[in-house]
Each structure stands twice: as C-alpha cells, then as structure tokens.
Amino acid sequence: MVTPLWNQPYEDQLSTKQTNSREFLRNLSKMLQRNIGEMSPWLKQQRKNHSRMACELEPIKPSPVLESYRNKCEFTISKSVDGIVE
C-alpha cells in the first residue's frame, strides 16, 4: 500500500510516524551496539541519553499544506552503454 495512513486524521498520522521513527532508531541502535564492538561504549551512553536511541529524535514537523498535496517519487532504471542495469 502506497499511503497506509491516508484514512487517519492528520494528527494521528504524525503521531504514528513519530512512533515508527522512534522504534526504528531504537532497533537500529541496539543492532549497532551488538554488532560493532568498538562503538559499543559510545552507543551505550548515547542510548542512555536518548531513550534507547543512538541520537536525539526531533518531533515531526507538520506541513502547513494539508489539501491537494502529494509526494512524488521518480526512479529511472536503464542499462548503461556497457549493458549494466543502473
């Protein structure tokens, strides 16, 4: 699904995105601490300082435009002169 939050009120969308971002950063930070030994002491302190995240997560900033707005993503896939897919 391209827009899974389309049927939620905007404030709920922002809250969901903030929660998802927080959980992603917590999981990433835990994985990094487990797998990158030399960073472990630093990450442990960072996670202690930032609610189990390696860095501060700022609040999502609401858009002033709520109607007639859409994201647009374009991807170009082609073969190079050498036949390599880019």
**DSSP states of 20-80 as a string?**
HHHHHHHHHHHHHHHH-GGGHHHHHHHHHHTTTSSS--PPPPPPS--SS----------B-
* Model confidence at 50: pLDDT above 90: yes
The residue extents of the domains of the chain are 1-59
Q: Mean pLDDT lowest for which of 9-18, 43-52, 69-78?
A: 69-78
The mean of the pLDDT values for the chain is: 83
pLDDT tens string 1-35? 457 888 899 999 999 999 999 999 999 998 988 88
Q: Three-class SS of residue 79?
A: strand
Closest CA to 4 of 22, 20, 28, 23: 20
More confident residue, 75 or 23: 23
